[in-house]
Amino acid sequence: MRAKYLNLHAINGLFWSVIRYLLLIGLAFLILYPLLVKLSNSFMSPQDLIDGTVRFIPRQFTWFNYKTVIEYTSFFKGLSNTFGISFLSGIIQMLVCTMVGYGLARFNFKGKSVIFSLVVLTILIPPQTYMISLYMKFSFFDLFGLMSTFTGGTVRLMDSMWPMAILSMIGFGFKNGLYILIMRQYFKGIPKELEEAAYVDGSGLFRTFSMIILPLSFSMMITIFVFSFSWQWTDSFYSSMFFSQFKLLSNSLLVGFEGLMMEGATIGLKQGQPLTATLTNTMSLLVVVPLIIVYLFAQKYLVEGIEHSGIVG
């Protein structure tokens, strides 16, 4: 009887394991199928795209789509500019959100609840509600009225890295509120005894923070950097508002179709043709590739950071 029960238990476990794997494979297929189709089409020639007998494997393998997109969208210039802005924003937001999150998690001071409420409001309030104010501020930038007092005018910061740098430094950058909440939640899970022991040994606040807290939160900081870098990389809200003349990949995706149509006389592009959609999909693949590379190098810290953040769902 015991052997029979064990066999039934093993069969039942095997059955549910097969069901789970089938569900996972099905979900993975639903997620990856559009990406695989875009990848396959990006290597097809214009003749393959209109050939109904060609489905997934190109009959005439070609780099034509990639060469066309890179040429007509100034891809490498946009790549370098996007990397510079994303890296700068990621580093600043990582440092600022770490310090603000630590302060909200560990210290009690007047106005703490107000600051925390403001952080939450930056997440809840749509950025479209204050986009005009931001545009005017950086179009006619004046630090507390000092510039107009001494120079008689303002400074235009549009089409430069300054708007994103300033917003990141004051904790008002893209999704900064979410990063602060993540860091606050993480620091609340660190035992206070570690800091108290350091204080007893004569360590000051800044030394304790730099020598004990920062090494412990390294994986969480890398997670914040990856989030900030990735979301800034594909951001179209701030990019379209601050960088009208500054070449970025996100702007190339927004105006890439029109740009290709304007330059398309030499390659025969017409609206609605399969080639036009394929070139747009090829551009999106080129934009995503750097993010995949970043994830491959940071996936260990990203998984550890998500596990330790205390945020689920």
Asked if residue 183 is part of any domain, the answer here is yes
User: What is the pLDDT, as a whole number, of residue 266?
Assistant: 40
Which domain, by its residues, includes 255? 74-309
Low-confidence ranges of the chain (pLDDT < 50): 257, 261-267, 271-272, 311-313
Domain total of the chain: 1
Asked if residue 9 is part of any domain, the answer here is no
Residue 168, burial from CB neighbour count under 10 angstroms (0-12, 13-18, 19+) = buried
241-292, pLDDT tens digit by residue?
A: 888 777 888 776 655 545 554 444 344 555 445 567 788 788 888 888 888 8
Distant-in-sequence, close-in-space partners of 83: CB < 8 Å, separation ≥ 6? 290
Asked if residue 46 is part of any domain, the answer here is no
Residue 273, burial from CB neighbour count under 10 angstroms (0-12, 13-18, 19+) = middle
* Dist CA 81 CA 76 (whole Å): 9
Convert 47-56 to b/e letters by CB count within 10 Å (16 or more is b).
ebbeeeebee
Asked if residue 33 is part of any domain, the answer here is no
Length of the chain: 313
130-157, pLDDT tens digit by residue?
A: 888 888 888 888 877 777 777 777 888 8
DSSP string of 48-68, one letter each residue: HHT-TT-SSS-SS---HHHHH
Convert 172-195 to b/e letters by CB count within 10 Å (16 or more is b).
bbbbbbbbbbbbbbbbeebeeeeb
In terms of Cα–Cα distance, which of 236, 238, 275, 268 is closest to 255?
236
Task: Specify the CATH number for the domain of residue 181.
Answer: 1.10.3720.10
**CA torsion, ordered 174, 211, 298, 167, to nearest 10 deg:** 10
In terms of Cα–Cα distance, which of 301, 287, 303 is closest to 235?
287
In terms of Cα–Cα distance, which of 250, 267, 234, 270 is closest to 72?
267
Asked if residue 293 is part of any domain, the answer here is yes
* Dist CA 96 CA 174 (whole Å): 13
Distant-in-sequence, close-in-space partners of 183: CB < 8 Å, separation ≥ 6? 97, 98, 100, 101, 102, 105, 217, 220, 224
Q: Terminus-to-terminus CA distance in the chain, angstroms?
A: 43
User: What is the pLDDT, as a whole number, of residue 148?
Assistant: 73
Backbone angles phi, psi at 275, to 5 degrees: -65, -35
Query: Quick check: 168 and 86 in contact, CB under 8 A?
Result: no
Backbone angles phi, psi at 141, to 5 degrees: -70, 130
Asked if residue 30 is part of any domain, the answer here is no
Q: Which two tokens stand for residue 243?
A: 């960088």
Backbone angles phi, psi at 145, to 5 degrees: 75, 5
Name the β-bridge partners of 155. Answer: 141
